[in-house]
Structure 1
Amino acid sequence: MSDLLTHALTAFAVATVASWVVPWLARRHVPLATAGAVVPDLAKGYFVTGDPQVTVAGVTGSWYALQTAGVVTCLLVAGVMLVERAERRVALAALLGGTGLHIGMDYLVIRAGGVAPPYLYPLTWAELPSVDAYLSSSVWPSLVALPVAALVWYVDRRGLAPGADSTAPERTDGDRAN
């Protein structure tokens, strides 16, 4: 599952760096971006059931649908209703950002036919060309993402990030100091 780990570490690093420069994105939103990057991998549920088809309440669907932008967006919009009303827009943006990063990274995976599945459904059924940079089972993307995420975590926690005031006391609410 190095692919799942790579998605989570990359989303953490990108969201943390974004929280340094995007005023409305706080440190507390980083886990939401990380969760958003993991949601499309719920399609791996077919490993548990042994069948790519799933039936819920009499409706049959495919686990693979969970990797499309349309289905993931519906899941995230439904899930964001659990968040406090004032935080919903930022929460949805963080979740969608993580999911977008995941889908973008999936276009880098080597595909036998040279094209990726229609991840952008319902926007398009087009099977866009894959970049063929690595196998989803490759370990090296995780070996790159791990030290990068660790460095970003260290810089963030030590207050060394650009714009951070290293003389200010540590805040307890989880947000970065302004």
Structure 2
Amino acid sequence: MADLLSHVLAAYAIFTIGSWRLEWLTKRWVAVAMIGALLPDLNRIGLFVTDATLETVLDLPFSVDGIHTLGGVLVLAGVGSMVVTSQHRRAFGMLLGGALSHLLIDGVKAYADGAAGAWLYPFTWYRPPTPSLYISSDPAVLVVTAVAAGLVLLYDRFWVVDGRSLLT
């Protein structure tokens, strides 16, 4: 759970900072990007439902492992953007942006074999080397992300008016 919350808080910080420069990037779109940061972890449905069950229900071959890849988040962002009544392209971009922030942050975590997951699928099966900056189960990751998001929240609340910083 700490890993999932860390991704949401990181997306909040990244896209809130972006909203200080981009007028169209309102709090609504920051929230959409935060939802996008959850998309790659939808593969955790495999903890509750087997691939065989999903294949039976869908009547076609299916594996939840592909959700935590670039191709998986492209499909999920496309489906998610269709739910929005207007501005489908912007919704797609924000969902994809949040999901990409998730994949990039996961790309630098520690893996036993020193290579990140095949998150570039379906474009390539290449597993890029990882700098092994953190372990996803480490509570310090959540603390650092929460502090960063808290600082961004405080700055946004008290020092940003109409997209302009009061300190500059």
Q: With structure 2 as the length reference, what TM-score do the two structures score?
A: 0.88
CA contact (8 A) 1:41 1:67 kept: yes
- 1:58 shift after superposition: 1.8
Distance 2:118 2:47 in 1: 21
CA displacement, residues 8-50 of structure 1 (integer Å, 9 cap, x when unaligned): 000011111101112332221011110111110111112223x
Unaligned runs of 5+ in 1: 167-178
The residue that corresponds to 1:78 in the other structure is 79
Distance 2:65 2:156 in 1: 36
**Aligned sequence identity (%):** 35
Distance 1:22 1:70 in 2: 27
The residue that corresponds to 1:115 in the other structure is 115
Residue identity in the other structure for 1:96 = L
**How many pairs does the alignment contain?**
163
Residue identity in the other structure for 1:68 = T
User: Residues 144 and 33 of structure 1: is their aligned pair in 2 closer, same or farther, counting only changes over 3 Å?
Assistant: same
- 1:102 shift after superposition: 0.4
Q: CA RMSD in A?
A: 1.8
- 1:52 shift after superposition: 5.8
Unaligned runs of 5+ in 2: none
The residue that corresponds to 1:161 in the other structure is 160
Question: Are 1:61 and 2:62 matched, yes or no?
Answer: yes
Distance 1:131 1:52 in 2: 32
CA contact (8 A) 1:25 1:90 kept: no
CA contact (8 A) 2:40 2:72 kept: no
Residue identity in the other structure for 2:14 = V
The residue that corresponds to 1:96 in the other structure is 96
Question: Are 1:126 and 2:138 matched, yes or no?
Answer: no
Q: With structure 1 as the length reference, what TM-score do the two structures score?
A: 0.84
